Amino acid sequence: MSYSSRRSGPPSWFIFLIAIAIVFGIYYVFIEARNFFASGALSPINATQEAELEATATIERRLAQDALPTRRPTTTPPPECQIFVVSVPSAIVRDQPSTAGRLLESIPEGTEVCVIQREGSSDWYLIDRNTITNRIEVGYMRDDLVDPLNPTPTPSDTMPPPPSITPTFTPSITPIPTITPTSQAALTPVPLDVTPQDAPVSS
């Protein structure tokens, strides 16, 4: 008597699907483990929050850099300015050297101001409102609202003593006498051996 044997168990296509699921599961676990250790062993929620904070800080740094004025090369050097300090509770900066000028800003006491020059013979100073750039942002302030940070010392009225004069010796030049032919003949000596009888007789 013969018995026919039948294969028992799941079909082959089912085993193939299970093998694919196992492979993808292992890959997913590997990726998650790698991300877990790369984030400093943080949970997914904490890692997401930290990434958002870092991205926000990066954007804020970029905005801050964009807000700063860019220095541009220029062939003309900016004029030198003298540093003044605001001496009143609030100093007004205008667009013209006049009280009728438009108000540009108000500067609190103790703020340093870059004064370029006095505007003619008036009571107004020409100032640079922004010293970071090479371009002058013009403004005007009254001279009684600011004081110089390093004032120039006022010269005293005391007269300095007159300089002392030390006499110096100047040698005088004595002229040398010149001898003319007439004076040379007068200086010729007479021989001593001539007697009176040898003298020529005048006729």
Q: In DSSP terms, which residues pair with 115 in a beta bridge?
A: 82, 127
Do residues 131 and 118 make contact, with C-beta atoms less than 8 angstroms apart? no
Q: Are 147 and 85 in contact (CB under 8 A)?
A: yes
- Phi, psi (degrees; rounded to nearest 5) at 76: -95, 120
Residue 177 lies in a domain: no
Residue 33 has φ and ψ, to the nearest 5°, of: -65, -40
86 has which bridge partners?
Answer: 146
Measured in residues, the chain has a length of: 203
Are 111 and 139 found together in one domain? yes
| CA distances (Å), origin 150, targets 96, 125, 130, 154 | 26, 16, 20, 12
Q: What is the pLDDT of residue 137?
A: 85
How far apart CA 25 and CA 17 sit, in angstroms, is: 12
Q: Tokens 């030198």 correspond to what residue?
A: 80
The residue among 98, 129, 148 that closes a domain is 148
Residue among 45, 140, 165 at smallest CA distance from 84: 140
**Sheet of 112-118: strands edge to edge?**
103-108, 90-94, 138-142, 124-128, 112-118, 82-86, 146-148
Residue 86 belongs to some domain of the structure: yes
Instruction: Say if 132 falls within a structural domain.
Output: yes
Supply the DSSP symbol for 114.
E
24, two tokens: 């993808």
List per-block mean pLDDT (blocks of 10 residues) for the chain, which spans 203 residues. 60 90 92 76 66 72 65 63 88 88 88 88 88 82 88 59 70 66 55 55 50
DSSP H helical ranges for the chain: 12-38, 44-67, 181-186
Does 59 reside within a domain?
yes
Number of separate domains in the chain: 2
Cα Rg of the chain, angstroms? 55
49: amino acid identity, one letter: Q
CATH of the domain at 122: 2.30.30.40
Task: Please report whether residue 190 resides in a domain.
Answer: no
90, 142: one domain: yes
Q: Say what the pLDDT of residue 53 is.
A: 72
